[in-house]
A and B are shown apart, each in its own frame.
Chain A
């Protein structure tokens, strides 16, 4: 099946610094990718929809200036956590759909996730 690769799998950074997480679709093109955040023992919460060649669409309550999303190509989306603070520590997961949108045979493929720890 299709593969989505996320990098890095874990990162530790100091407060105030920025961290970039990459999400790549390895064998298919994805005009849309999704970024989720997961707290311990909590559900995956959709943060934003990354659209190739246009601005990302953020969910309510997500700071777009803090979580910068760039989707410059059909196979790569990046999430940059700017001026990170300890409360940003979390598990971040990206996904992309393979297949034509609107059809029932589309399927979401997920990256392995990135564990961010801000100290």
Chain B
């Protein structure tokens, strides 16, 4: 079945450091890929998404490129801020379904 594997955290960085959170997936066909973020005390929010191969999703300085050849959707940000501290979830849906399959989540802490 479909699955998502993302790097385990926690990840601790200093402000302005470069961030990469790896995400790979297993799915048949062409899933849609998502990154969700959960700030402390809040619900999950969509950060970015990509619906087909080679698409790049971007938002708030974060980027992720849908790589069909490596079945990956790594999240990157060139310069993190303290306010980026949160838990990040990689997820997919497939075949027009609204069912989301999530990775385990990666907790990011950014120190001033």
**A residues touching B (Cβ–Cβ < 8 Å)?**
4, 6, 32, 34, 36, 41-44, 46, 49, 93, 95, 97, 101-102, 104, 106-113
Q: In the complex, which of the residues B4, B43, B99 contacts A112, with contact meaning CB atoms closer than 8 Å?
A: B43
Interface of chain A, main secondary structure:
strand
CB of A107 within 8 A of CB of B99, answer no
Are B51 and A34 within 8 A (Cβ)?
no
Whether B100 lies near A108 (C-beta < 8 A) is yes
9 interchain residue pairs of minimum CB distance: A110-B43, A110-B44, A44-B102, A112-B43, A43-B104, A43-B102, A97-B98, A102-B96, A111-B43
A-B residue pairs in contact (CB < 8 Å), sample of 7:
A34-B98, A43-B104, A95-B100, A109-B43, A110-B43, A112-B43, A113-B43
Q: Which residue of B lies closest to A57 (CB)?
A: B99
Q: Once bound together, how far apart are the Cα atoms of A89 and B71, in whole Å?
A: 34
Contacting B105 at CB < 8 Å: which of A32, A34, A43, A49? A43
Q: Tell me, in angstroms, the Cα distance from A107 to B105 when the chains sit together.
A: 19
Within 8 Å CB of A44, what residues of B?
89, 100, 102, 105
Interface assignment of B41: CB less than 8 Å from any CB of chain A: yes
The answer to whether the Cβ of B103 comes within 8 Å of any Cβ in the partner chain is yes
Complex alpha-carbon distance, A111 and B36, angstroms: 13
Q: Which of B2-38 contact A (CB under 8 A)?
A: 4, 32, 36
Q: B43 and A43: CB pair below 8 A? A: no
Tell me if A108 and B89 are in contact (CB < 8 A). no
CB within 8 A of B46: which of A41, A93, A107? A107
Most chain A Cβ neighbours within 10 Å, of B41, B44, B100:
B44
Given contacts A6-B43, A93-B44, A110-B45, contact A104 B98 (CB under 8 A): no
B6 nearest CB neighbor, chain A only: A43
* B42 lies within 8 A of chain A by Cβ: yes
Complex Cα spacing A41 to B9, Å: 9
